[in-house]
Amino acid sequence: MTIREEILNASIILEAANIENASYDAKELMLHCLNISSTDFFLKREESIDEETKLRYEALINRRASHEPLQHITGIAYFYGREFNVNSSVLIPRYDTENLVERVLKLVKRGDHILDMCTGSGCIIETIALESRLTREEAYFLGVDISEEALKVARANKAKLGADAVDIMQSDLFENLNDNLRNSFDIIVSNPPYIKTAVIEELDKEVKLHDPYIALDGSSDGLKFYKKITEEAIHFLKKDGYLAYEIGSDQAEEVRDIMASKGFVNIEVYKDLSGLDRVVIGKLEDGL
């Protein structure tokens, strides 16, 4: 069979397994298997593939049919127009999170110190650094995560993308940040775990079976990390510094109240392109 026919057959298998975007995934896995671009595909789609390649492709399709995420199979996810490495140690960067980056970029200026708490793959802090075009001499960017396995991915992405202005640190939230960093940040940004524990079992198989549980579980009310980060952020932000969160679409009022209780003012909620609450940003009225 030709490459095109193999993809058509694979699409049928994925559709039968209730995989959304089955045709797209079947094609992407073929491109990955052959290590070719979309342009190459159009030139070669009527060619045949050898038996070894066919068996490799079938193995990839079987993995996807079992609801292993496409991005884990290929090791690649796209975020803000860039290609990031991913694996099962990090959340797959999602389009919704681009809303958070976009809002933070409007606040960034030369000389700022910016902290990304729960950085995972590094996609947020590295994108902010690259999009702002500020060098290490012009700004300070720090990504923090508790998981050393996640930080290996963040460091690989830093090297791959040339995000040289970004530092990466292992820490359980603010635990390993030294006293020199207190009251030093102009912006703290975070996409923390915010799924209610009881809801995790209701998520799609791609998420509940393959995303790291530690990056999903926000405890019984989903607010554990908003409370912890907000409580500590006031000691690490400058006066008039900003705290910016990605939130679940039903958490805006609760997160706003948490921030207001710790002295944040001018708290704004921003919607994503679907019209759902997605980002909350507030300013610290008085640094501590």
Consult the annotation and say whether 226 binds a ligand: no
Owner of token pair 């681009």: 98
Tokens describing residue 121: 């793959």
pLDDT in tens, 41-76: 989 889 999 999 999 999 999 999 999 999 999 999
User: What's the rounded mean pLDDT across residues 23-35?
Assistant: 96
Q: How many domains does the chain have?
A: 2
Owner of token pair 């921003």: 270
Q: Residue 79 falls within a domain, yes or no? A: no
Same domain membership, residue 277 and residue 137: yes
Domain range for 17: 3-66
Same domain membership, residue 242 and residue 135: yes
**pTM of the predicted model as reported, rounded to 2 decimal places:** 0.92
Average pLDDT of every residue of the chain: 93
Consult the annotation and say whether 193 binds a ligand: yes
User: What's the rounded mean pLDDT across residues 96-111?
Assistant: 97
Q: Name the DSSP class of 181.
A: G
pLDDT in tens, 142-159: 999 999 999 999 999 999
Same domain membership, residue 95 and residue 62: no
H-helix or E-strand spanning residue 190: strand 185-190
Same domain membership, residue 235 and residue 107: yes
Q: 123-132 and 148-161 are packed helices; what angle lies between their axes, rounded to 10 degrees?
A: 20
Spatial contact of 90 and 153, defined as CB atoms under 8 Å apart? yes
In angstroms, the CA 112 to CA 3 distance is 51
In angstroms, the CA 210 to CA 143 distance is 23
Same domain membership, residue 172 and residue 51: no
User: What's the rounded mean pLDDT across residues 269-276?
Assistant: 94
pLDDT in tens, 207-260: 777 777 787 777 778 899 999 999 999 999 999 999 999 999 999 999 999 999
pLDDT > 90 fraction of the chain, expressed in percent and rounded: 83
Q: Residue 279 falls within a domain, yes or no? A: yes
The sign of the dihedral angle between the CA atoms of 208, 209, 214, 215 is negative
Q: Residue 85 falls within a domain, yes or no? A: no
Q: pLDDT-based confidence at 288, cuts 50/70/90?
A: very low
Same domain membership, residue 123 and residue 61: no
The CA-based angle 280-153-146, given to 5 degrees, is 60
Amino acid in position 183: N
The sign of the dihedral angle between the CA atoms of 102, 165, 124, 170 is negative
Owner of token pair 């860039």: 82
Q: Which of 27, 15, 126 is nearest to 79 (CA)?
A: 126
Consult the annotation and say whether 277 binds a ligand: no
Same domain membership, residue 174 and residue 256: yes
